[in-house]
Amino acid sequence: MTKVTKEGAGKFSYHYPFCATIVTSHAEGRDNAMAVAWHAPISVNPPLYGVSISPRRFSLELILQSKAFAINFMPMKYAELVAQTGGSKGSNVDKFAKFNIEKEESIKTNAPVLKKAYAAYECELYDHITLGDHVWCVGKIVAVHYEQEAFNDKDLLDLTKVDPALYISGENYVTTLPSSVRHLERNDYGNR
């Protein structure tokens, strides 16, 4: 393959794929759900997770009002739901009603937890900062919901049981193959 070098960020999609997620929020009697591809774990102690949200999104307004959100990790069989929540505006439509989104009871926040997610974090808003054209919302994880069968005895996602949806930009989704998993012990490789 030929490597190209150029100034600037280009199409800004060289960092994909990311797990397809749906961030949910609730304030003033309204639930909302939006697709989010830009997200990351930040800290183990305290357990912090961040999501990047455009200030034009209704979800950001709800998160800042309620000081809470949930991040829902979605299997590939529900990639259409991710696309639906990303392709409609929560300020104009009740996405939960329109797309028949089922939710489970949250236990620590008022943010909806999606029944179809294989894992979800309930987060209390820990901090937020505007960085460029997005707001980085940092949540302290206060509750975890997960399908026990989706994870192995080491709490790793079992790809023979769950096919996570991965977003690769340009409205394209892919998934993993269980046969592609390789365990490379960092201590073994670091000492070579």
> Is 1 a member of any domain?
no
> Is 12 a member of any domain?
no
CA distances from residue 50 to 40, 47, 121, 149, 157 in whole angstroms, order as listed: 5, 10, 11, 26, 20
How many domains would you assign to the chain? Answer: 1
> Is 10 a member of any domain?
no
As a whole number, mean pLDDT of residues 47-69 equals: 96
Q: Which domain, by its residues, includes 158?
A: 18-190
Q: How many residues does the chain have?
A: 192
Query: Residue 12 pLDDT > 80, yes or no?
Result: no
> Is 170 a member of any domain?
yes
Query: Residue 170 pLDDT > 70, yes or no?
Result: yes
Residue 192 has a pLDDT of 60
Can you give the pTM of this predicted structure? Answer: 0.90
Query: Residue 67 pLDDT > 70, yes or no?
Result: yes
> Is 83 a member of any domain?
yes
Band the pLDDT of 188: cuts 50, 70, 90: confident
In this structure, what CATH number is given to the domain that contains residue 174?
A: 2.30.110.10
Residue 8 has a pLDDT of 84
Query: Residue 191 pLDDT > 90, yes or no?
Result: no
DSSP 157: B
For the chain, what percent of residues have pLDDT higher than 70? 98
Query: Residue 129 pLDDT > 90, yes or no?
Result: yes
Query: Residue 54 pLDDT > 80, yes or no?
Result: yes
> Is 111 a member of any domain?
yes
> Is 60 a member of any domain?
yes
d(C-alpha 68, C-alpha 122), whole Å: 8
d(C-alpha 108, C-alpha 142), whole Å: 7
Q: Is-contact 173 167, C-beta < 8 A?
A: yes
> Is 8 a member of any domain?
no
